[in-house]
Amino acid sequence: MDNQIHTSESLRDVKYEIRGQLANHAYELEKRGYEIISLNIGNPGLFGFRAPETLRLAMIENLGQAEPYCHQKGIFPAREAVVMQQQDRGVLGLSVEEVFIGNGVSELIDLSLRALLNDGDEVLVPSPDYPLWSAAVSLNGGTARYYQCDPQNGFVPDVEQIESLINARTRAIVVINPNNPSGAVYSREVLQQIVTLAETHGVVILADEIYDQMVYDDAAFVPMATLVEETVCLTYSGLSKVYRACGYRVGWCVFSGDIERASDYIHGMELLAALRLCSNVPAQWAVQTALGGYQSIKELVRAGGRLHQQRQVVIERVEKSPYLSMQRPMGAMYAFIKLDDRFATKLDDAAFAQQLLEDKHVLVAPGSSFNTPYTDHFRINTLPDTTTLNEVFDRIDSLLQQRA
């Protein structure tokens, strides 16, 4: 007799290896006294990045108003600040009624897919993707169909392939820009081509833009919503990355484009938001200050800034390594690094990550965790100081030299 209490069948195709078995093993090693350099998650606060002080002050000053539940969509000042940011970017015709505040973007991805999908519906998701997207599609009865963003093409979407995947069951296209894990930043031309496809076929655009201001050198971020007129666009962003406040758990989702067509969809998402009453209220009071105040992220990503310098160390160490290569990341806080072809029959990404953790005490995320058809990449975050990053690449090269 089987006495086990089994999990739901809906979890069968769900994976999130960024915090999966490797991360659990790293935790066990730490409990045994080993010091692990954890590069599996983009968590700025762990690496000495602080949220702007003004955000903390805004929360403290409004704690007295933060004890009751708020509206299921969020407090008015936070939603109004998001509307004003969108207007400044050229997205017009919005009101606070089209803005939802959530417990991070993660919750809003889940709610928006739950409100949209019926069993068997399909969502076009990039490969590589941020795996929450695939998981949330599956958990809400949908099927993720992957369009390739090939390394050989700079991880830029293949628009012709996207079009070939669209059928009668396609409900949405996910666009992650700036991209996690690859660091690619998409051109206006590519984004416009995707928008044209979506408008032609009546497909919703789901624009994950959590790294919107985190771009380097001559890369330019183009908000997807500024290009959309004749279909519905959902834009996701929040305080976690640009404002270095992951633990606040504050994100937002904005409906734009053909708002009239989205009225039933918005109502469905409002119903789901009401079922969880509201999102974390104290941290919502930081949104207006964050979006309306000085954008300190610009200092970090420009030449000489900490994020820029750390990214440069990664670029230089990969270029010097005989065992590694990568497409230069132009946005976000990650590097998606390729193992040399000599390891193809010796060491796939999962085995490499496992051995790197066991032997060198460095935790990375295998590339196949991001739903790739290849198994020769791994992702690190670029958040540690330059000394730590150099130590990481010393350990990686040492391990690969042993296996070459």
Asked if residue 14 has pLDDT above 90, the reply is: no
- 3-state secondary structure (DSSP) of residue 37: strand
> What tens digit of pLDDT does each residue of 55-110 get?
999 999 999 999 999 999 999 999 999 999 999 999 999 999 999 999 999 999 99
Mean pLDDT of 362-391: 96
> CA angle, 272 as apex, 267 and 273 as ends, to 5°?
95
> What tens digit of pLDDT does each residue of 225-274 get?
999 999 999 999 999 999 999 999 999 999 999 999 999 999 999 999 99
d(CA 136, CA 368): 18
Q: pLDDT confidence of 352, banded at 50, 70, 90? A: very high
> What tens digit of pLDDT does each residue of 336-348 get?
999 999 999 889 9
d(CA 141, CA 113): 9
Nearest-CA neighbor of 350 among 369, 335, 337, 334?
A: 369
d(CA 159, CA 370): 20
Mean pLDDT of 21-35: 93
Which stretches of 227-268 are assigned E, i.e. beta strand? 232-238, 251-257
d(CA 211, CA 97): 24
- 3-state secondary structure (DSSP) of residue 283: helix
End-to-end CA distance of the chain: 49
As a whole number, the mean pLDDT across the chain is 95
What's residue 131's pLDDT?
Answer: 94
Chain CA centroid to CA 41, Å: 11
Which stretches of 128-176 are assigned E, i.e. beta strand? 143-148, 170-176
Asked if residue 400 has pLDDT above 80, the reply is: yes
Q: pLDDT confidence of 3, banded at 50, 70, 90? A: confident
What's residue 15's pLDDT?
Answer: 75
8 A C-beta contact, residue 259 and residue 231: no
Which stretches of 92-200 are assigned E, i.e. beta strand? 99-102, 122-127, 143-148, 170-176
Mean pLDDT of 45-49: 94
d(CA 279, CA 262): 22
Tell me the β-bridge partners of 15: none
pTM equals 0.95
> What tens digit of pLDDT does each residue of 195-216 get?
999 999 999 999 999 999 999 9
8 A C-beta contact, residue 234 and residue 207: yes
Q: What are phi and psi of 235, to 5 degrees?
A: -110, 130
8 A C-beta contact, residue 162 and residue 173: yes
> What tens digit of pLDDT does each residue of 110-163 get?
999 999 999 999 999 999 999 999 999 999 999 999 999 999 999 999 999 999
Q: What is the largest CA-CA distance in the chain?
A: 64
- 3-state secondary structure (DSSP) of residue 381: strand
> What tens digit of pLDDT does each residue of 166-190 get?
999 999 999 999 999 999 999 999 9
What's residue 1's pLDDT?
Answer: 60
Q: pLDDT confidence of 12, banded at 50, 70, 90? A: confident
Q: pLDDT confidence of 11, banded at 50, 70, 90? A: confident
What's residue 17's pLDDT?
Answer: 74
Residue with tokens 């897919």: 113
> What tens digit of pLDDT does each residue of 293-345 get?
899 999 999 999 999 999 999 999 999 999 999 999 999 999 999 999 999 98
* Complete DSSP assignment for 317-340: HHHH-SSEEEPPP-BTTEEEEEEP
Q: How many C-beta atoms surround the C-beta of residue 27 within 10 A?
A: 14
8 A C-beta contact, residue 47 and residue 266: no
* Complete DSSP assignment for 96-110: GGGEEEESHHHHHHH
Q: Which domains does the chain show, CATH number per domain?
A: 9-50+299-403 (3.90.1150.10), 54-292 (3.40.640.10)
d(CA 108, CA 120): 21
Asked if residue 224 has pLDDT above 80, the reply is: yes
